[in-house]
Structure 1
Amino acid sequence: MTELMFKGKEFVWNHHLAVPARPLVPHPEKGIGEARLDGNLIVQGDNLHALKALLPMYAGKVDCVFIDPPYNTGEEGWSYNDNVNGPMIREWLDANPVGIDDGLRHDKWCAMMWPRVRLLYELMADDGSIWITLDDNEVHRARLILDEIFGEDCAIGQIVWQKRTSRENRAVLSPSFDHVLVYSKALRDTWKLRRNRLLPTDGGYANPDDDPRGPWASIPFSAQGYREKQVYVITTPTGVQHRPPKGRCWGATEPEFDRLRELDLVYWPKGGNGKPRIKQFPDEAKGLVPMTLWPAAEVGSTEESKKQLLSIFKEYEAQDLQIHAPKPVDLVRRVIEIATRRDSIVMDSFAGTGTTAHAVVEANKFDGGDRRFILVEMEDYADRLTAERVRRVIKGYDFTGTQKTELLRERLNWRALEKADALVHEVQGIENLHGHEFDRIKKEVKDGELVVTGEKAVAERAEGAGGEFTYCTLGEPVELDAILTGEELPAFDALAGILFHMATSQPVPPGETDAERFHVGEVNGTRVWLIYRPDLEWLKSSEAALSLSFARRIAEAHPNERHLVFAPARYVSQRLLDAEGLAVEFVPLPFALYRVERE
């Protein structure tokens, strides 16, 4: 494997391990609903520190990561400010912000991304996937970073997204697309089997023949290649004879086709003269394999996303919102369709304008799902823009005008005209499926394309999609070495989560932590305890030590399990614990900066 080398790599290789743990501090007044850390989250703070803060609860649980990091065009003015110890890094900081004339800007970008991707990898589920949007400036370096961290065999693909449809005459070549890199923790073939689902089939369903089984769509009755038993003559109800298309065969043998005809599953287009197609009902649809070309007509463009954002923030101009090129909601919706289940966790650690949360809320509204989002944004607009957009999407917002939703866009070439009846059938299906959602379904031919749009008049207020979230900031770093000096005494839950993750590499199981019993949680036969209270005098007392009676009590209550007990001191030796057959191990505070290996 080709290794990516960049200046500073030796300093950031394991920098994610040295990042101090910081607790999440909820701000109930800025969220919606009950403040809770196991629901939707918006975190304001440096994303490297925020990702480390999320590890104790979310390690191995995130199903989908969608990030839109700095493209490093030389015009963003972003700063590399990770606190990495090293004279070279300190020199770099003096050259911030990173600009077009900075000869080390690509090295700095790699140094910024490396520890963040390492933490995102730890947060991802075993079959989770990461989707990263970039342009030509850094996409090739990003692939090498991902190859090293995830492995080349975990590269799912590289998607081309048409980000703009207008021409940029000032450029050498007018940029029309961005890249979307897709990697998974699982190997490529494993992820293919475990991914959520294929994309919905094109077009809607209709019932032009009043089939008692309900609306249906038709699919071609042909297959690639040559199979002798699937090459035969089919006669239509009007007497026209058809053979399979050149280079193809029919989709089944003749006896199977006769069976499908008896079951009224064959549709004859062109008034009965056309080649047979097969009726497919919604619950039978297998879906479509995602392509690597995503046109703006399907997933939106940056121009459209700006207009949508400004419709939500009607009181602002674009320059007031400090937006450049927000990602379209439909782009992230497409990712969610492919990469999530209805109860998945979706994370965006470069949250920007909050598109990812908007897409998750809309996806839940569409299919009744219970997906959760976790957003991280370090800029000062995290509250007034990122979170405020989510508040308005959830609650509704002032809006007067017509909301338009594009339902179909089809280029009208000769091939489309030859299949005009199928296209009309498709439009009728859309009208039947979505007509009740809009005031009208508008059909127009524009610039050589058939565009079908759902329109809904809004008099005063756009309807909210519902939901809730908790807004958090980052607390002061938890320095374990400072606990017994009294310099820092974190809350029990904050310290317990950090130590549990250190000891087991897993997040704390929800609902198991009990400060009164000093119980933290259990995973894979290992139970973790923390004898601790945020009280310096108590920590110096004999009550804060592991005793033989405490060891006997927990071993008796939870037999056949291994017990790790974090405490400032102990009054019983490991030899005595072993002699009594107690599977109890003492881990001293504040020296718990290492990971306890499982036996």
Structure 2
Amino acid sequence: MTELNFKGKEFVYNHHLAVPFRPLVPHPKKGIGPVAFDSNLIVHGDNLYALKALLPMYAGKVDCVFIDPPYNTGNEGWAYNDNVNAPMIKEWLNANPIGIEDGLRHDKWCAMMWPRLRLLYEMLSDSGSFWITLDDNEVYRAKLMLDEIFGEENFITSLVWEKTTSARNDARFFSIDHDHILVYAKRIDQVMINRVVRTESSDSAYTNPDNDSRGPWREGDYKCAKSADERPNLFYPIKNPITGEEVLPRRERVWAYSKSENDRHVREDRLWWGKTGNYSFPKLKRFRSEAPADLVARTLLQAKEVGQTRTARTEILDIFTDQAFATPKPTKLLSRLLDLATDSSSLVLDSFAGSGTTAHAVLQLNKRDGGNRRFVLVEMEDYADKLTAERVRRVIKGYKFKGTQKTELLRENLNWRTLERSQDLVHRVQGIENLESADFDRITKQIKDGELIVTGEKAVTERAQGLGGEFTYCTLGDPVELDKVLSGESLPPYAAIGAALFHMATNQALDPKAIRQKDFYLGETAGQHVWLIYKPDLDWLKTPNAALTLTRAKAFAEAKPGKRHLVFAPARFVSQKMLTEQNIPVEFVPLPFALYRIERS
């Protein structure tokens, strides 16, 4: 496999292991609902440290990772600030921010992304998928890095997002209208990628002009691209039951169905000749109830379907009125990707959260189908609270809005086929108007770029309705450093240090709901139970109460029989030999040594 070499790779190759663990510090007043680390999260802090802090709880549990990192255009002003202990890296820190004139900006971007990608890989479940948006500046280097980290065999595809429909006439060679979205699986044989969920606009193609008891249907062509010379058995007359006329197909384009199939269609009332029998040729009724539930996803994401950069900026201005964001992604785009990558209970992680579009899309999807998807966002910039989290607050609760909210009700390509059945198209539009008019102030119809677009418009003068939901807002605490813990300068909360120790011992994420702090119990794996004798109180840690004793070892083993027991504690008053002799399946791990392993990992 071809590997990507960049300056500094040898220094950052395993840097994610040396990143110190920093506990999550909740800020209840900045979130909505009770503090819950296993629910929706927004973390303000450097995403490298944040990912390391999240790893003990979420390793192997994330169903979808979506990130929108700096594209490294040379105009973004991002800074390399990872604390890598190498002279060359330290020299880079003096050259921040990275600009277009920086001859090593591509190397620095790779050095920045590498440890983050390594941690994101560990976060994914075996059925999880990874999605990253980039442009031509770094997409090819990213592809090689991801091939190395994920494995070339786990590459799924590269999507093309049409980010603008307006040509830039000042472009030197080409007007760049698209971005790339690289898609990888954690394990290609287990990945969950849905087919495209059928959209409202595709459902609107189904109507029921004759009140058929089988429900809504759409017209299907009854002819095929074969001639009478090629398929003489498909050249036969069909009687129009309304006019009584017998109709033959054209010799160059005969019926698509045999005479026996046609007879069945007639018996089952599946032929449609128009309301007055005015069609020259019959159409086949294709019922919505018999159609596939979904459609195959395509790699081209058109702006008209998923939005573009301009519409994403409008979304931000609708929510804030006075705040802009340079490079937002449209909510429709994220909704489409999450339709592909998640189910109703999936966990979604975005460690370059920006304006918070990912959380917005998750909440929208939950509102749409009653799902319980969760999001974890990480944003390091100062706007994490005032923009990222504030957008989520407003979307959950509703927000002041004055203007016109628009909902697309129908989008139909205009071609010769639609002109042939123009009366039915008019009937469909009229049906939409009758059905939807009560929910909108007006319904508009326009033809644009060869499409008929029907839109419901509603004037809003007070508030946009909230989507509901909760989230916990966190920052990052001080690093768990051995010297400071032993001296009492820094004593992490029980759950924070417990999550780190559990992950270190088991290589699995800790379930916060399993923790019973008063019993010193952390959780279990398939083969063992894990305990932590600890309180964030230096005086208590110096007492015999903080030690593993024979009595306590027996109690642990009796409380959870059938497995081995791993006990973290500052001290012990019973030897491992005695525990073995008395057949007590308990193994002691000294807490200072365990913390040292975390610090040096």
User: TM > 0.5 between the two?
Assistant: yes
Distance in 2 between residues matched to 1:505 and 1:422, nearest whole Å: 61
Q: Which residue, out of 273, 297, 315, partners 2:304?
A: 297
CA contact (8 A) 1:267 1:279 kept: no
The 3 A distance-change label for structure 1 pair 158 and 310 is: same
Distance in 1 between residues matched to 2:222 and 2:498, nearest whole Å: 60
Distance in 2 between residues matched to 1:480 and 1:271, nearest whole Å: 85
Answer with 1 or 2: which has the greater Rg: 2
Note the C-alpha offset of 1:141: 0.8
- In structure 1, the partner of 2:35 is 35
Note the C-alpha offset of 1:588: 1.6
**Bigger shift: residues 344-353 or 235-244:** 235-244
Distance in 1 between residues matched to 2:110 and 2:413, nearest whole Å: 41
Alignment of 1:437-476 (within 5 A): 437-476=439-478
Secondary structure of 1:99's counterpart equals coil
- In structure 1, the partner of 2:170 is 170
Secondary structure of 1:168's counterpart equals coil
- In structure 2, the partner of 1:212 is 213
Note the C-alpha offset of 1:243: 9.5
Distance in 2 between residues matched to 1:435 and 1:339, nearest whole Å: 34
The 3 A distance-change label for structure 1 pair 276 and 215 is: closer
- In structure 2, the partner of 1:184 is 185
The 3 A distance-change label for structure 1 pair 168 and 546 is: same
Residue type at the aligned position of 1:477:
P
- In structure 1, the partner of 2:314 is 307
Secondary structure of 2:444's counterpart equals strand
The 3 A distance-change label for structure 1 pair 583 and 402 is: same
Distance in 2 between residues matched to 1:244 and 1:153, nearest whole Å: 50
- In structure 2, the partner of 1:45 is 45
The 3 A distance-change label for structure 1 pair 543 and 294 is: same
Structure 2's unaligned 5+ residue stretches are 241-245
The 3 A distance-change label for structure 1 pair 553 and 25 is: same
Note the C-alpha offset of 1:109: 0.6
- In structure 2, the partner of 1:160 is 160
CA contact (8 A) 1:44 1:378 kept: yes
CA contact (8 A) 1:207 1:214 kept: yes
Distance in 2 between residues matched to 1:413 and 1:283, nearest whole Å: 26
Secondary structure of 1:129's counterpart equals strand
Residue type at the aligned position of 1:337:
D
Distance in 1 between residues matched to 2:420 and 2:332, nearest whole Å: 30
- In structure 2, the partner of 1:520 is 522
1:151 counterpart = 2:151: yes
Residue type at the aligned position of 1:183:
Y
Note the C-alpha offset of 1:438: 2.9
TM-score, with normalisation over the residues of structure 1? 0.90
CA contact (8 A) 1:63 1:129 kept: yes
- In structure 2, the partner of 1:379 is 381
The 3 A distance-change label for structure 1 pair 541 and 153 is: same
Q: Residue deviations 1:449-494, cap 9 Å, x none? A: 3222121121222222222222111111122454233232111111
- In structure 2, the partner of 1:531 is 533
Distance in 1 between residues matched to 2:440 and 2:382, nearest whole Å: 38
Matched length: 584
Identity %: 60
Distance in 2 between residues matched to 1:286 and 1:541, nearest whole Å: 64
- In structure 1, the partner of 2:10 is 10
Distance in 2 between residues matched to 1:199 and 1:340, nearest whole Å: 11
Structure 1's unaligned 5+ residue stretches are none
Note the C-alpha offset of 1:273: 4.4
Secondary structure of 2:335's counterpart equals helix
Residue type at the aligned position of 1:389:
R
TM-score, with normalisation over the residues of structure 2? 0.89
Distance in 2 between residues matched to 1:246 and 1:549, nearest whole Å: 89
Residue type at the aligned position of 1:326:
P
Residue type at the aligned position of 1:400:
K
Distance in 1 between residues matched to 2:434 and 2:527, nearest whole Å: 54
Residue type at the aligned position of 2:177:
S
Alignment of 1:192-203 (within 5 A): 194-200=192-198, 202-203=202-203
CA contact (8 A) 2:234 2:255 kept: no
- In structure 2, the partner of 1:364 is 366
The 3 A distance-change label for structure 1 pair 4 and 543 is: same
- In structure 2, the partner of 1:129 is 129
The 3 A distance-change label for structure 1 pair 66 and 218 is: farther
